[in-house]
Amino acid sequence: MKKFGLKVLGMAALAASLTGCIGSNAVTGYVMKFNLEVVDNRYARGGVNMLLAPVYALSVAVDSLVFNSIEFWSGKNPINGKPHIFDSKTKTMYNMNDDLDPSLTEAPLDPITMREVESSTFEAIDENTIEMHVTYNNGDKSVVTGVRDGENVNYYVDGELVSQTTMTQLETLTNEQA
């Protein structure tokens, strides 16, 4: 078990070193914002900062290993939406982009966007089918459909099967939450 843990730690360190973990540090920024909003006195803020030291350590690790890595590869931080710092336009000492293939001058992956549901409506199609029409904050729309087929219930998002449950499982869930 100890060897496994060392392997996982080694792989995480390798992944962090290969992903360009510099970034906007969005999680750490939110911790810092919280720190500043707790109290208005600079000395008290310093005390809160010392109390939050373990939280800062965790937030820096999460930023470095997860969110800054996503930001590097997609070109945009999924939490705060800021572009990656490496894509900043600034005066440089050496200009190489004009000599490179354009695929080497931009982030290789499309940015991850966080959509929030703006509104949703339910519609009973028949005794075995229900649809939920969802509108997201970016204007995208989607239809989630549940279709009962005997004991099974199939769930579709925009016509594509995404999951299946049974009536027994749904009844158990309902009873557990009651």
Q: What DSSP designation does 130 have?
A: E
> Each residue of 116-171: pLDDT tens digit?
788 889 999 999 999 999 998 888 899 999 999 999 999 999 999 888 998 998 88
pLDDT one-digit tens code per residue, 36-87: 999 999 889 899 999 999 999 999 888 888 888 888 888 888 888 888 888 8
Instruction: Quick: pLDDT tens for 20-33.
Output: 578 889 999 999 99
Q: Which two tokens stand for residue 47?
A: 């005390």
3-state class of 124 per DSSP?
strand
Checking 137-142 for CB contacts under 8 A at 24+ apart, the result is 138/113, 140/115
The answer to whether the CB of 105 falls within 8 A of the CB of 84 is no
Number of H-type helices and E-type strands within the chain: 6, 5
Structure tokens at 165: 């449950």
Alpha helices by DSSP H, listed for the chain, are: 2-18, 26-38, 42-51, 53-62, 68-74, 167-177
Q: Confirm if 155 and 169 have CB atoms less than 8 A apart.
A: no
